[in-house]
């Protein structure tokens, strides 16, 4: 992180965000516990930046993105967008925030209504927010489709008439309809063929430059994140365990979990031998997380303190954050 960048006021501030899902049992469906999907996550995103959340499936990264946008309710913490409390907003203020904050879903087919043409799906948003109607809405829809690499006449087609890559372009066009500043890209290429993934990534980068967009990019693919992100946050069992500038993260990951994830990235040159870090055991249940460091049950460097004391996410002089007793010994 440069000195200039650190002085820029964040467009998004997430502080101690929590999202717990109740576990109901018995005939009366009484709450017997909670799945701690997001458990005290904090980070900032600066304007025009791409902040990537990475981790294994089930670590809580997608739930974090949805909770920030209030697609699911939070159980604690705060989210500030341009200084405004998103979780406390109601009525017209929430409607205003909806226009500024959008999402691109992982599965473009389930994100679209199969009974509506893509033109209707996009123009509906314009009608609801009172931005455009009639011919003006039609022109805006066609403009968005063309900007996202489709043709104007595609507005009359239904979702099943498109390929997966084309449907994702439609979803991106719909996200752009209200001229947002911030977009959550939730695994936007994981459901696509490899040959199409690079096209969508290039489109997202082009749109970011053209519209000065800020991205929360959620992915499990660290090779894609290396290409897209400015900063990287690593999640494990609902918690952030490392946050760093992209170059610093890929050069010297501090947390053992991050090191294991990076060691799993395939190398295109077969002559290069890479040491793979194999993690033992399975990810613990978020309904019953282990005491102390959440990663200690799989960590190859586990110490006694890891089993009892939760490590804090501390920042070193280079701006690199890590929640690990190896990096930040308990005094």
Report whether pLDDT(310) > 50: yes
Report whether pLDDT(228) > 90: yes
Closest to 235 (Cα-Cα) out of 12, 79, 56, 70: 56
Report whether pLDDT(265) > 90: no
Residue 238 belongs to domain with CATH number: 3.40.50.300
pLDDT tens digit sequence for 48-70: 999 999 999 889 999 999 999 99
Tell me if 304 is assigned to some domain. Answer: yes
DSSP 152: G
Strand positions, DSSP E, the chain: 12-25, 30-45, 50-54, 76-81, 84-85, 101-104, 182-186, 214-219, 231-236, 239-245, 314-315, 321-322
Tell me if 231 is assigned to some domain. Answer: yes
Query: Number of structural domains, the chain?
Result: 1
Q: Which two tokens stand for residue 318?
A: 């280079």
Amino acid 280: pLDDT: 83
Tell me if 26 is assigned to some domain. Answer: yes
pLDDT tens digit sequence for 211-224: 999 999 999 999 99
pLDDT tens digit sequence for 103-161: 999 998 999 999 999 999 999 999 999 898 899 999 999 999 999 999 999 999 999 99
The predicted model gives 226-243 an average pLDDT of: 96
Tell me if 129 is assigned to some domain. Answer: no
Q: For residue 188, give its domain range.
A: 3-115+158-322
3 pLDDT tier (thresholds 50, 70, 90): very low
Tell me if 140 is assigned to some domain. Answer: no
Tell me if 128 is assigned to some domain. Answer: no
- Give whole-number Cα distances, 305 to 211, 236, 308, 318, in Å: 48, 19, 5, 26
The predicted model gives 322-326 an average pLDDT of: 94
Tell me if 131 is assigned to some domain. Answer: no
- How far apart, in whole angstroms, are the C-alpha atoms of residue 106 and residue 59? 16
Does pTM surpass 0.75?
yes
Report whether pLDDT(331) > 70: no
Tell me if 8 is assigned to some domain. Answer: yes
pLDDT cut 90: percent of the chain above it: 78
């Amino acid at each position: 992180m440069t000195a200039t960048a650190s002085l820029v006021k964040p467009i998004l501030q997430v502080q101690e965000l929590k999202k717990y899902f109740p576990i109901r049992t018995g005939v009366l469906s009484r709450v017997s516990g909670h799945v701690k999907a997001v458990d005290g996550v904090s980070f900032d995103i600066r304007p025009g930046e791409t902040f990537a959340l990475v981790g294994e499936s089930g670590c809580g990264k997608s739930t974090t993105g949805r909770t920030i946008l209030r697609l699911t309710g939070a159980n604690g913490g705060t989210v500030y967008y341009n200084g405004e409390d998103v979780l406390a907003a109601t009525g017209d203020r929430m409607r205003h925030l909806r226009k500024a904050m959008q999402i691109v879903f992982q599965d473009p087919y389930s994100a679209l209504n199969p009974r509506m043409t893509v033109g209707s799906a996009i123009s509906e948003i314009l009608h609801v927010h009172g931005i455009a109607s009639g011919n003006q809405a039609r022109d805006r829809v066609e403009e968005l489709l063309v900007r996202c690499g489709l043709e104007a006449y595609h507005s009359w087609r239904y979702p099943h008439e498109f390929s997966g890559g084309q449907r994702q372009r439609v979803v991106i066009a719909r996200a752009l309809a209200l001229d947002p500043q911030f977009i959550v890209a939730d695994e936007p290429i994981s459901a696509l063929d490899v040959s199409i993934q690079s096209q969508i990534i290039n489109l997202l980068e082009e749109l970011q430059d053209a519209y000065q967009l800020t991205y929360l990019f959620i992915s499990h693919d660290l090779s894609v994140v290396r290409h897209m992100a400015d900063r990287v946050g690593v999640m494990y069992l609902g918690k952030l365990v490392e946050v760093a500038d992209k170059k610093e993260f890929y050069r010297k990951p501090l947390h053992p979990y991050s090191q294991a994830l990076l060691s799993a990235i395939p190398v295109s040159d077969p002559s290069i031998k890479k040491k793979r870090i194999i993690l033992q055991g399975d990810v613990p249940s978020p309904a019953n997380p282990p005491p102390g460091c959440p990663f200690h049950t799989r960590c190859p460097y586990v110490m006694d303190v890891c089993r009892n004391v939760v490590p804090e996410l501390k920042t070193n002089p280079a701006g690199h954050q890590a929640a690990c007793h190896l990096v930040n010994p308990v005094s």
